Chain A
Amino acid sequence: MTGVFAAATAAILVCMGLTLTRSIAGPTVFDRILAVNSFGTKTVLLIALIGYLSGRPDFLDLALVYALMNFIGTIAAMKFTRFGDLAGMEDEDSEELY
């Protein structure tokens, strides 16, 4: 069983390396946001798997917190790239949203 957890952890680490390469090399800012979001999802899986690999399933609490923070961070980064400001779209000459 430990071998299965170790293999899955290694696969996720390799995939995190690929995702980090895309987030550095991505031509547009949306590629970078997508790569960072995917990196966060893989971090959640990695924390859960490491908890089982080291025999301490309490790490699942950290994974839960990280899953929520990852979603909020993605939405905030997208809003910041669109409006240049986290406060939103009060500006009159900004683009139409819909």
Chain B
Amino acid sequence: MASPIEVLSWVMILSGSVFVIIGGVGLLRLPDFYTRIHAAGITDTLGSWLILIGLMLHEGFTLGAAKLAMLLFFLLATSPLSSHALAKAAYLRGLDPLQGRDLTDRHEVDDSA
């Protein structure tokens, strides 16, 4: 019988995988660049944090857990920063966000608003 820490580790790794899949499908299917940043942010933050914390629980207090904590810190510092810099670069370059009620069909968006 597995210990509760092991079960918690499985749950966190599998739910992190679910978030990674959600982010990938969103990155492929969402209609606009700014909405795709939102989908990729799910993968970069929640999915990777859940998977890495699950691996840390599996590892215990070892050197590997310290390396995983460093990896978690790097992803925590760099992923939101690169998402923000990318959105700001696209906006300053003049890429307009998609606006309107029906975001799934960009040909019917009314530009007069």
Tell me the A residues contacting B by CB distance below 8 Å: 1, 4-5, 7-8, 11-12, 14-16, 18-19, 21-22, 28, 30-31, 33-35, 37-38, 41-42, 44-45, 48-49, 52, 57, 60-61, 63-64, 67-68, 70-71, 74-75, 78, 81-82, 95, 97
Contact = CB atoms under 8 A, between A and B. Distances in A.
Contacts of A75: 82, 85
Contact of A52 (B27, B55, B70): B55
Given A5-B13, A82-B89, A48 B52 contact: yes
Interface residues of B, number: 47
B33 A15 contact: no
Given A7-B17, A18-B24, A48-B68, A28 B78 contact: no
A19 B10 contact: no
Contact of A30 (B70, B81, B89): B89
Interface of B: 6, 9-10, 13-14, 16-18, 20-21, 23-25, 27-28, 33, 36-37, 40, 43-44, 47-48, 51-52, 55, 58-59, 64, 67-68, 70-71, 74-75, 78-79, 81-83, 85-86, 89-90, 92-93, 95
A45 B48 contact: yes
A63 B70 CA distance: 10
- The SS class assigned to the B binding surface is helix
A75 B84 CA distance: 11
Given A12-B20, A41-B43, A48-B52, A21 B71 contact: no
7 contacts: A8-B17, A11-B18, A16-B24, A34-B36, A37-B82, A45-B20, A67-B78
